[in-house]
Chains A and B, each alone.
Chain A
Amino acid sequence: GENVEQHPSTLSVQEGDSAVIKCTYSDSASNYFPWYKQELGKRPQLIIDIRSNVGEKKDQRIAVTLNKTAKHFSLHITETQPEDSAVYFCAASKGPSGNQGGKLIFGQGTELSVKP
């Protein structure tokens, strides 16, 4: 089945610096790659996603890049702020593909700490 590896497990940056989190996946049929942010004591929430028909997507200070050949994708956060501190999870899926759309498999998570 699908396996998603995420690095690093912890990341500490100064406010204003950039942060990059990387994930690799094993199943070449995966075509949907979301990123979730989980603040302390809260539920994970989707922050950005990318599908296999594009190589990059940007939303204000966050961007995601996808390299299907190498089977890896990355989250980039620019001009980091203390409120960006959280655990970030990448995920991969073969969905949607009809009613039996694929499972959403998560990476191990990255704890990002932004120091003021």
Chain B
Amino acid sequence: EADIYQTPRYLVIGTGKKITLECSQTMGHDKMYWYQQDPGMELHLIHYSYGVNSTEKGDLSSESTVSRIRTEHFPLTLESARPSHTSQYLCASISRRTEAFFGQGTRLTVV
């Protein structure tokens, strides 16, 4: 079944660690986005991609980086995690009609 998958669902790590949040979709979409969201709060666009080798920073400043080497895969990396990075990270795959399909999210806690 075509879907979008995020791993891990929950992650608790120590300050200064490097982490990569995984996002994969099997819907064949070119556009993929990363949003940061505190529970029940605003969705902040932090990165987006229009296709392979295309990545742009979103409207919310983020210390994370992304890569898009394959259409299906859009991982997000934090080189040195800090407590201020504690949040939920939602990956979305965008159809040609601009409908966003969201993953289940990764809830990150940095201690």
A interface list, Cβ under 8 A from B: 1, 32, 34, 36, 38, 40, 43-46, 49, 87, 89, 91, 93, 95-96, 99-109, 111
Give the A-binding residues of B (Cβ under 8 A).
30-31, 33, 35, 40-43, 45, 48, 50-51, 58-59, 90, 92, 94, 96-100, 102-105
Residues of chain A contacted by B105 (CB below 8 angstroms) = 43
Using known A-B contacts A43-B104, A100-B50, determine if residue A32 contacts B41 with beta carbons closer than 8 Å: no
Name the B residues within 8 Å of A34 (CB-CB): 98-100
With A103-B45, A103-B58 in contact, is A43–B98 under 8 Å at CB?
no
Contacts of A43 in B (CB 8 A): 90, 102-105
The residue that A49 contacts in the complex, of B94, B99, B104, with Cβ under 8 A, is B99
Identify 16 new A-B residue pairs, CB closer than 8 A, beyond the known A46-B99, A103-B59, A109-B41.
A34-B100, A87-B40, A89-B43, A93-B98, A95-B98, A96-B97, A99-B51, A100-B50, A101-B31, A101-B94, A104-B33, A104-B92, A104-B94, A106-B45, A108-B41, A109-B42
**Residue pair B45, A104 in contact (C-beta under 8 Å):** yes
| Least distance between A36 CB and chain B CB atoms (Å) | 7
Complex contact B50–A99 (CB within 8 A) = yes
The distance in angstroms between the C-alpha atoms of A44 and B94, with both chains bound, is 13
Given contacts A99-B51, A101-B31, contact A108 B98 (CB under 8 A): no
Whole-angstrom distance between the alpha carbons of A38 and B103 in the complex? Answer: 12
CB contacts (< 8 Å) of A107 on chain B: these are: 42
Of the A-B pairs whose beta carbons lie under 8 Å apart in the complex, a sample of 19, sorted by A's number, is A1-B59, A34-B98, A43-B102, A43-B103, A43-B104, A44-B102, A46-B99, A46-B100, A93-B98, A95-B98, A96-B96, A96-B98, A101-B50, A104-B33, A104-B45, A104-B92, A104-B94, A106-B42, A111-B40
Complex-state Cα separation, A32 to B97, whole angstroms: 9
CB distance from B99 to the nearest CB of A (A): 5
